[in-house]
Amino acid sequence: MLLLQPATSSLLSHPIDRLKVLSAGILSLILMLGIARFAYTPLLPLMQQQAGLGIAQSGWLAAINYMGYLCGAILASSINDLIVKDKLFRMGLIVAVITTLMMGLTHDVWIWAISRFFAGLSSAAGLLLGSGLIMNWLIRQEHRSELGIHFSGLGLGIAFCALAVEWLSGEFNWSQQWLILSLLGVLILVPAWSWLPKPDNTAFTHSGKAMLDNPPSHLFLRLFMAAYFCAGVGYVISATFIVAIVDSMPGLEGSGTWTFFIMGLAAAPACIFWDLVARRIGDLNALISAFVFQIVGILLPVMFPGLITTLLGAALFGGTFIGIVSLVLTMAGRYYPTRPAKMMGKMTIAYGVAQILAPAITGFIAEIRGQYIDGLYMAAACMMLGLILMLKLRTLSLIEEQSLSS
């Protein structure tokens, strides 16, 4: 709810300002999520072949990365000061470059683990602090409170890393590719840093409207977090192991990186698409639809093996997982317009716990059975549970709306 106040002397932003702010967000996600975090996925098979990285070790490195992400989410949810969040976000940009560089300078698994942990912290800064800062700026400038354009950076980052690894693999080894990606990260860091303005810490928009938080009920929040935990399991297994899974399937050797590219390419415009869907049918109905399509995307490659079904599954997965993240964090930002990262952080704690447990379990199972495919069945089962919880959440939302109106 927004209460009218006397107009301030501040002017609403020029369209070019909105473009620069959204571009800063997109570039920050390409760096802090795409390069620092997700470059590990297409480079994983090369590190296993050339650097002697074991199957179980690869799962633990992924889990450590998500542990850093979870710590970042806890930190984001505990900080209310936008100025502090802005400083931590900018630190995260620098850490993203440093941790990427660390991966290419050593064969030491322990240093890789340290790199993955701090890369996880950096990715939390990009996804939560950056998204919160941009959501706050959009609301304050009275633009649509939607993050679809911003989150396209995640899909672009995935697609960028997949293409980079595919192009570089013929000439450079795994270590050199990490070093090249860190150099590209430096080039991305400059506009990502400079185009995002310092945050306004006042409680009013630029036209003088008061920004008031409107938190959901405790039951709604618990169900929402449980459903998002399930989405985290469904997301992380495919996102981490998709290249290795596809490359291990008969007849699909060498197709993993292109599958990852298709996943990222589908993710790039997906958030904008799901914003439009949510405008028509509501946020919760859009989330339910995304859950259904993601389940299909996860199961297609294993139930109907083949290149076409694998690529289609990757497109469905890429087009839905990022939509789920965008819709959930957008809803969280609307509940807390003055402190958008507060509920974003709480939701991401649930998502982050899933991202710690699932890769480690998947790696353990793969070590015993010699394949990652069983992890996809686990991911699909968790998504089914999440779908049931989302349906219950929709029912609860309707009941709460009726009670408020009566």
Nearest Cα to 362, choosing from 154, 100, 66, 50? 66
Residue pLDDT, tens place only, 257-294: 788 788 878 887 888 899 899 989 999 999 999 999 99
Q: What pTM does this model have?
A: 0.74
Q: How big is the chain by its Cα radius of gyration, in Å?
A: 20
**Could you tell me if 290 and 325 are in contact, meaning their C-beta atoms sit under 8 angstroms apart?**
no
Nearest Cα to 343, choosing from 210, 256, 218, 163? 218
* Ordered alpha helix ranges (H), 195-339: 218-248, 256-281, 283-303, 307-335
What letter does residue 204 receive in the DSSP assignment?
Answer: B
Mean pLDDT by 10 residues, the chain (406 residues): 38 65 90 90 87 82 84 82 88 95 91 94 88 80 70 82 85 92 95 86 58 77 93 84 76 78 82 89 94 92 84 90 87 76 78 79 76 81 95 88 68
- Opening angle at CA 47, ends 124 and 180, nearest 5: 65
Quote the tokens at residue 18.
């909105």
Residue pLDDT, tens place only, 55-69: 778 878 887 887 898
Rounded Cα–Cα distance for residues 333 and 329 (Å): 6
Q: What architecture is the 16-197+216-400 domain classified under in CATH?
A: Up-down Bundle (1.20)
